[in-house]
Amino acid sequence: MIDGIAVGGFNIIDLPFLSEQLELPCIAIMRRLPNLVAIDKGILVIIHNANA
């Protein structure tokens, strides 16, 4: 069992691949909705820093 599939809103566990490897169905349940504004800001910071 793992505690979630995402860090900072970005998926890090490939559920279809995991399901295929385990030969079992896998599902993800979110405890709460992601903060989409914070995710957008984080992406913009990364893009800005990459272009600097």
* Structural element, H or E, at residue 47: helix 36-51
The one-letter amino acid code at 37 reads V
What pLDDT is stored for residue 26 in this prediction? Answer: 87
Residue 35: pLDDT band (50, 70, 90) is confident
Q: Flag whether 1 is in a domain.
A: no
Average pLDDT, the chain: 83
Average pLDDT over residues 43-49: 92
Domain count, the chain: 1
Structural domain of residue 23, as residue ranges? Answer: 6-51
Instruction: Please state the pTM of the whole predicted model.
Output: 0.50
Residue 8 has pLDDT above 80, yes or no: no
